Amino acid sequence: MNKNSVINFAQKLALINEHWSPKVVAQLNDYQLKLVKVKGEFTWHQHVDTDELFLVIKGSMDIHFKDRVVPLTSGEMYVVKKGEEHKPVATDECHILIIEPSGVVNTGDAGGELTADNDVWI
């Protein structure tokens, strides 16, 4: 990992071999860009202090909200607003880029066994 070089998504994704474990690939001021491979159902949670952006690089996923389901596929992105309870779900493995401020924990206010280590760079 070199914090000042070109980030190639395919090369970085090849280094990830677990689901729901965001890996930081770039820092933009106090924001981080994290690659994640997702499959199955994540936990309901919210981030009380920040919006969170999902950009789908490969595959498809759904973001469940209490009042709707937002389907996303490769080449699409969506901003989950601060304080919105959501649950990401992917039937098949999906590769995504998440953008949010440094320090945001993947399970937000929910915690639990799906909580990943934070600030892990690849």
Q: Considering beta carbons, is residue 41 or 84 the nearer one to its own copies?
A: 84
Q: Going by C-beta distance under 8 Å and a sequence separation of 6 or more, which residues neighbour residue 53?
A: 77, 78, 79, 80, 98, 99, 100
Question: Which span sits near its own copies by CB under 8 A: 27-35, 38-46, 85-93, 109-117?
Answer: 27-35
Q: Of 18, 28, 67, 113, which lies in the binding site for its own copies, with binding defined by CB under 8 A? A: 28
Asked whether 68 and 86 are in contact (CB, 8 A), the reply is no
What does the binding site for its own copies look like in residue numbers (CB under 8 A)? Answer: 4-10, 26-29, 31, 33, 50-53, 57, 70-72, 75-79, 81-82, 99-101
